[in-house]
Structure 1
């Protein structure tokens, strides 16, 4: 199935939401009159890779400028990429390139592109179920559409604060701390490039990134007091923004229960905030996806008799146990349960951890 349209009639956030909820597999081609063309390769609602003209050269230049890899080695690794993306880890490492750095830079490119496209609101898209990457300058990404949607909308909502703090390209950014492997990759890169002071406009051109993407990361460093920007006003930390960023880190680390606690606190304090609502959807979507990886939808749960252990279960968990008949698969149990999809899956995962459940 192919689908064409423009962002004036089908806004980008709504398009991403549709592709995510439908768990689509294929290629999304985005055409912007200013930003050129980008392609997102999706597998069941997950972004596997992105293609964009000049992506290889820009990634190689940034890693080289920040002294994280040799530019020639990065280009050699990209040119050797197989069309299907097999054995990426060993291929990059053979050229002395950390694949994690490549993925992080591609994620950065993707976030910036989505933000610029959402704010601009004009352009067109083409969707096809063809996943062919042949002939494209593509690089691996591995990110859910829900995370992409949440992060890009959060950037859009917070961009006015960034613009107020960094109103012009003539501002000079100077690092106050040394780059560290514990920091996010873009923070490390920016701190390296700004060690002796760097004009914001030149910094953006060196990285080959849009202004909104560059200023976003500089703003984060400014807020953390890791850089100083001559002439910039003092940045006051927004507690909601701070909690959302920490919650997003918890999700990336797979700590979904902790992220849900952050989410509950934020929803109780400000349920009308779009960033909070999107974060809640993202946490639930990512947790469900992780549980389905642990409990394949077509696998059939079989109970292991243990009355003593079952007596420790909560009443709502016993209701889920009552539906397990050795015939229904996980997806059928989810549909038959009166509990939410997430709660049912969490109960099944708990039963498996307790040794009360086997999958066949």
Structure 2
């Protein structure tokens, strides 16, 4: 069991440690407000979390054992809110020590830890801008456009649907929307901001220029990570970093994307697997692939030994290995 303060070990660090160590754990968060939350990780995924504290349209979609898109989305939003907690405490237990108690409602999820950390970091960086862009919770929200259903998440779709309905004397306020949907203020504003950016809603009194180009590109990178297109996401983030080398936000997101990519590679290759050359290449290959073959020239090696001997970075070595295996140039077998 591990305990600590979020002020000294933020949730980001806790989750990255669990991901890197491949630990199956239950992470409990104690807020200063007294409202607790927890999540359970297994094989680098969050597989269950506590029910959202606020009830509403989204949390009523399905049951914890069979959650609909709304309840799943509300539970994930609750997890993202935890990244803004800086003064609470955390407790980390192996799941063998403590899974969900029989009386606890656990929302079943399947959220990669890498994606959760990347999205949490992005929302943490975005929050000061959101708070200043939408300072008045009495501001009214109005639907002004549409978007294809497959481009909207469950929360965005629910916001847009409610914004089209008559509400009291007019369109709903931001505060009313929170109550109807059962979202925190932070969760509502981050999704309203996305809808405003694509021209689906307008908010009274919101400051102009809601999003800059970098924020839009980071959003695109987050979508690519969620779809496990890690190389494409890294390309977007490296391009941003090249134009703004001092941007620590982009640098952190790039590091997390590469960790997620590394985890995806190790899902295909065990460190103890043995790699040997099956046949010489029949055509020209890249310098990275040739460097890997040179490291195998004398004898077969384990994946772990290969990553140490290769002149390439660990991720580049694994990607080269996967490429060569697909071409039939190397074969990989269990130890």
TM-score interval, normalised by the smaller of the two chains:
0.7 to 0.9
Q: 2:137 aligns with which of 159, 169, 173?
A: 169
Query: Residue 51 of structure 2 contacts residue 75 of structure 2 at CA under 8 Å; is this kept in 1?
Result: no
Task: Tell me the TM-score normalised to structure 1 length.
Answer: 0.82
CA pair 53-204 structure 1, distance change in 2 beyond 3 A: closer
Q: 1:193 aligns with which of 162, 180, 183?
A: 162
- Cα distance in 2 for partners of 1:170, 1:53 equals 24
- Cα distance in 2 for partners of 1:143, 1:262 equals 22
CA pair 332-106 structure 1, distance change in 2 beyond 3 A: farther
CA pair 333-104 structure 1, distance change in 2 beyond 3 A: farther
CA pair 179-243 structure 1, distance change in 2 beyond 3 A: closer
Q: How does 1:1-360 map to 2 (within 5 A)?
A: 2-34=1-33, 36-52=35-51, 54=53, 58=55, 61-62=57-58, 71=61, 74-75=62-63, 78=64, 81=65, 92=66, 98=68, 102-115=71-84, 117=85, 121-131=86-96, 132-135=99-102, 136-178=104-146, 180-182=148-150, 183-196=152-165, 197-309=171-283, 312-324=284-296, 327-360=300-333
CA drift of 1:17 comes to: 3.2
Query: Residue 295 of structure 2 contacts residue 306 of structure 2 at CA under 8 Å; is this kept in 1?
Result: yes
Aligned to 1:68: none
CA drift of 1:329 comes to: 2.4
What SS does the aligned partner of 1:154 have?
helix
Kindly provide the CA deviation profile for residues 237-277 of structure 1, in whole angstroms up to 9, marking residues without a partner as x: 31110110001111111222221211221110112222201
CA pair 43-336 structure 1, distance change in 2 beyond 3 A: farther
In proportion to residue count, which structure has more helix? Answer: 1
- Cα distance in 2 for partners of 1:194, 1:53 equals 22
- Cα distance in 1 for partners of 2:309, 2:30 equals 43
Query: Residue 295 of structure 2 contacts residue 309 of structure 2 at CA under 8 Å; is this kept in 1?
Result: yes
CA drift of 1:327 comes to: 4.3
- Cα distance in 1 for partners of 2:153, 2:52 equals 25
Q: Which runs of 5+ in 1 are unaligned?
A: 65-70, 82-91
Aligned length: 323
Task: Tell me the TM-score normalised to structure 2 length.
Answer: 0.88
CA pair 180-112 structure 1, distance change in 2 beyond 3 A: farther
Aligned to 2:168: none
CA drift of 1:101 comes to: 5.1
Query: Residue 300 of structure 1 contacts residue 326 of structure 1 at CA under 8 Å; is this kept in 2?
Result: no
Q: Which runs of 5+ in 2 are unaligned?
A: 166-170
Of stretches 45-54 and 30-39 in structure 1, the one that deviates more from structure 2 is: 45-54
CA drift of 1:234 comes to: 2.0
Aligned to 1:89: none
Of stretches 316-325 and 197-206 in structure 1, the one that deviates more from structure 2 is: 316-325
